[in-house]
Amino acid sequence: MPGPQPQPIILTERQKKMLEHLARRATSTQRLACRARIILAAAKGYNNEQIARELRIDRETARLWRGVWLDAKAAEHLGALEEVDKKELRRSIEEVLADRPRSGAPPTFTPEQVCQIVAVACEEPQGSGRPVTHWSTPELADEVIKRGIVEDISPRSVGRFLKGGGPKAPPHALLDEQRARQRA
């Protein structure tokens, strides 16, 4: 027994041509091209199962992007696009078919805390009463907790902060470039 038919998508001729262009364009990302193909197939009257089979994607992916397009259409995001130029039409369609922001987990440590951890790592360990000549990550983690910079931190996190920090050296000698300019 077939399920309910998904809501149809009706495209203007300009929208259809732009979606076809985005699906074929060599510089389109695979995600954008696939999403454009989903909308085009939905506009041909295919249901989500048929789209999934045709494009070799998950049925939920077809359902999701059909819904995103219909929501944008309902919100008039795609409503008055017949009057805009080709560039604006492409930008609007790409915006509708772009990834949505994801919430994710908030950062565990603030940038200020990371700076303070790096600053402690630049100090001599003996100044903090540590019987070592160089900081180890466990010693440093213990010290920043003791100072109240953070409530809790693993030595591995401390190591990541120290490894990733600081500006990288340029790929070529800047002084040599400056001297060459002065000579010329």
Instruction: Tell me the pLDDT tens digit for each residue of 123-146.
Output: 999 999 999 899 999 999 999 999
Instruction: Tell me the pLDDT tens digit for each residue of 33-88.
Output: 999 999 999 999 999 999 999 999 999 999 999 999 999 888 776 655 566 788 88
CA gap 30, 179 in Å, rounded: 46
Residue 172 has pLDDT above 60, yes or no: no
Q: Residue ranges per domain, the chain?
A: 13-96, 111-164
Cβ atoms of 42 and 69 closer than 8 Å: yes
Amino acid symbol at 106: P
What end-to-end distance do the CA atoms of the chain give, in Å? 82
State pTM to two decimals.
Answer: 0.57
Query: Which residues touch 22 (CB under 8 Å, ≥6 apart)?
Result: 28, 32, 33, 36, 90, 93, 94, 97
What local confidence, expressed as pLDDT, does residue 1 receive? 46
